Chains A and B, each alone.
Chain A
Amino acid sequence: MIRWSNLFGPEMAAVRAGPPEQALLPRDGAGERWLAGVIAVLCFVACLAGLGALSAERAAGGWARELRGEATVQVRPGVGETGDAAAARAAETLAGVSGVEEAAAMDRATAERLLRPWMGDAALADLPLPHLVTVRLDPDTPASALVLGRALAEAGIDATVDDHSLWRGEVERSAGTVTLLALAAFLAVAAATGAAIVHAVRAGVEARRTVIETLTLSGATDGAVAWLFQRRFALLAFAGGAAGTGVALVLAGGVRFLGGGEGLSPALPLAWGDLLILSPTPLVAATVALVSARLTAGRALLRLGAPASAG
């Protein structure tokens, strides 16, 4: 190809070394720093919601597991039989039932020790206490309340079996509700992130209308221009997401550290490994931004680029 100087004559001035290539879209044309801050806060909240859901699910699972592994039997002694003797007979009967690991009659001293914090010493001495048998069930194949009741009936023991199913159901329902609420909070945060990005991309397209027109008149395809917005907002969301996730990790890690071996607190167990579930958050934020920016920029470019044909 012929050189410009050969075509047009001698050069007019010396050339200085050129700078490196610059981004085709102007920086911060539509409050991008503000958007990054919003995304960071939203991701921080999403991380806390996620950790809260996981912790609640863990706690509820643990409580339900404990309740599922135990049953309590209240024995009513027959005529001419003492309560302790009836409880001992029931424990012996239950110990032989499949699905039971251990059954033990609770003596009065143990029952009084359990009740003392609520009743006090004075009332306990004259209080008629129920005769109880505590049953530890096989965690893999626990015997049901029906099986335990039938075994006691066959042995001629009048008793009531409580396998904690009522209480366990409430715990599991509560845990499910907490998990659902946390998930809803997470989804709401993701939707808010998407909405903020859609708004920012629209504003960005409008603010850079002249730039876009120049690019398209210089031969850029709509797809290429949309990609500029996609890349810009995806990187922005990734950076904001990483910042928000980082803060959440530090906070959760600090609380976990202070909580010792039990996690966030004795009531909310969380393992160090659980913090890893936060790691995809920046990627999720970037993906939401990528999709939102693509759809929004595509529509905006279509509107911008459509030639007028009024007449």
Chain B
Amino acid sequence: MPRPRRPAADPAPTPETVRLTGVGFGYAERPDVLRDISLILPAGSFHFLTGASGSGKSTLLRLLTLSERPTEGQLILFGEDATAVTARDRPGFRRRMGVIFQDFRLLDHLSVFDNAALPLRLRGAKAADYRADVEEMLAWVGLGDRIGQRPTALSGGEKQRLAIARAVMSRPELILADEPTGSVDPAMADRLLKLFQSLNRQGTTVLIASHDEAMARRSGARLLRLNDGRLAPAPATAAA
């Protein structure tokens, strides 16, 4: 069965997927959203980013997806300086990531299938090459019988599963997820956690922003805790 492949131009994984050094970010009306963030996500690591609502978790993810630019410090992604990345270079970084948004960001005019296949399609893959792969993933997340429907016909949990399927479809090097289990029942949350763990075992670096510290501890991942825009020392997890 034909399988989607990563673009040939993608460089080999680097020992450090993410390195932030003294990163800060803010707006004119709130200059200290993030302060002095320094962290390293080694390639193949699994981290949970926890913190209270408004602590800066989503903002940190937006910096990593290059949707925002640090106001201070340095951001290294995949071994390259991405602090002041240009519009021309941004897609190259983003194609190595899979992003799961808190609000799903599904395209309502596309079918469930086309939403899941979006990253592959944007990389120029042929539908015949990825059809089986996408169908298999959708079946796995429990959307196999919803494949031709629009996202508007899905429940919140189903939308979340579709958003996750889309993010991992291209087998990215780095997965960034913002509250990826916020809209699903505990059983599905565990199943999705297993999905992230499986991808991580394949070498994918995973960073999940979640307020659910219990799940974070269960996952065995390392914990990063944001407190009022600063990275606080976090207790070791069971597995760590």
A residues near B, CB below 8 A? 1-5, 7-9, 11-27, 210-211, 213-222, 224, 301-302, 305-311
Determine which of B67, B105, B139, B194 lies in contact with A307 in the assembled complex, contact meaning CB atoms within 8 Å.
Answer: B67
Decide if B15 is an interface residue (CB 8 Å cutoff): no
Q: B71–A311 contact, CB under 8 A?
A: yes
Q: How far in angstroms is the closest Cβ of chain B from A222? A: 6
- In the complex, B107 has a CB within 8 A of chain A: yes
- What are the residues of chain B within 8 A of A214 when measuring CB–CB? 105-107, 118
Given A18-B113, A216-B90: A308 and B144 interface contact (C-beta under 8 Å): no
Looking at the complex, which one of B28, B87, B133, B143 makes contact with A305 (CB distance below 8 Å)? Answer: B87
B118 to chain A: closest CB distance in Å?
5
User: Distance in Å from the Cβ of B193 to the closest Cβ of chain A?
Assistant: 11
In chain B, residues 1-48, which have Cβ atoms closer than 8 Å to a Cβ of chain A?
1, 3-5, 24-28, 31
Q: Is B141 an interface residue (CB 8 A)?
A: yes
Q: Identify B140's interface contact among A5, A22, A23, A215, CB under 8 A.
A: A5
- A-binding residues in B (CB < 8 A): 1, 3-5, 24-28, 31, 65-72, 87-88, 90-91, 94-95, 99, 105-111, 113-114, 117-119, 121-123, 127, 131, 133-145, 147-148, 166, 170-171, 194-195, 198-199, 202
Residues on A with C-beta less than 8 A from B72 are 311
A-B contact count (CB 8 A): 151
Chain B CB within 10 Å, residue with most, of A14, A23, A221, A224: A221
Q: Considering the chains assembled together, what is the distance between the CA atoms of A306 and B114 in angstroms?
A: 27
Inter-chain contacts of A16 with B (CB < 8 A): 144-145, 147-148
Residue ID in chain A nearest B31 by CB atoms: A311
Instruction: Give every chain A residue within 8 A of B27 (Cβ-Cβ).
Output: 308, 310-311
Q: Which of B25, B65, B105, B107 contacts A311 (CB 8 A)?
A: B25
Q: List 7 A-B contacts (CB under 8 A).
A: A2-B202, A3-B1, A19-B147, A20-B127, A22-B114, A26-B107, A307-B66
The interface residues of chain B lying within 8 Å CB-to-CB of A26 are 107-109
State whether A14 touches B144 (Cβ < 8 A). Answer: yes
Per the bound structure, the CA–CA distance linking A217 and B143 in Å amounts to 23
A222 partner residues in chain B, CB cutoff 8 A: 87, 91
Do the beta carbons of A217 and B122 come within 8 Å of each other?
Answer: no
Chain A interface SS verdict (over half): loop
Complex-state Cα separation, A4 to B134, whole angstroms: 9
In the complex, residue of chain A having the shortest beta-carbon distance to the beta carbon of B24:
A311
Contacts of B31 in A (CB 8 A): 311
Cα A7 to Cα B166 in complex, Å, equals: 16
State the CA gap A112–B4 with chains docked (Å).
Answer: 95
Which one of A5, A16, A25, A210 has the greatest number of beta carbons of chain B within 10 Å? Answer: A16
User: With a CB–CB cut-off of 8 A, which chain B residues contact A306?
Assistant: 87
With A19-B113, A224-B122, A311-B31 known to touch, is A4 a contact of B133 (CB < 8 Å)? yes
Question: In the complex the two chains form, is B145's CB within 8 Å of A8's CB?
Answer: no
**A8-B140, A16-B148 given as contacts; is B111 within 8 A of A218 (CB)?**
no
Contacts of A23 in B (CB 8 A): 109
B138 x A15 contact (CB < 8 A): yes
Closest beta carbon of chain B to A283's beta carbon, Å: 28
Q: Nearest residue in B to A18 (C-beta to C-beta)?
A: B113
The docked-state distance in angstroms from the alpha carbon of A308 to that of B27 is 8
Across the interface, do A213 and B105 meet the contact criterion of CB distance under 8 Å? yes
- How far apart are A211's CB and chain B's nearest CB, in angstroms? 6
Considering only CB atoms, which chain A residue lies closest to B112 in the complex? A18
Question: Does the CB pair A27–B141 fall under 8 Å?
Answer: no
Nearest opposing residue in chain B for A13, CB measure: B144
Q: A211-B107, A302-B87, A311-B26 are in contact. Are A218 and B118 (CB under 8 A)?
A: yes
Q: A307-B67, A311-B31 are in contact. Are A15 and B136 (CB under 8 A)?
A: yes
Nearest-neighbour CB distance to chain A for B181, whole angstroms, equals: 15
Residues of A contacting B67 in the complex (Cβ-Cβ under 8 angstroms): 213, 217, 307
Q: Verify B122–A4 contact, CB threshold 8 A.
A: no
| Beta-carbon contact of B145 and A22 below 8 Å | no
Q: Are A218 and B113 in contact (CB under 8 A)?
A: no
Cβ-defined contact, A21 with B121, below 8 A: yes
Chain A proximity of B129: nearest CB distance (Å): 12
CB atoms of A14 and B139 under 8 A apart = yes
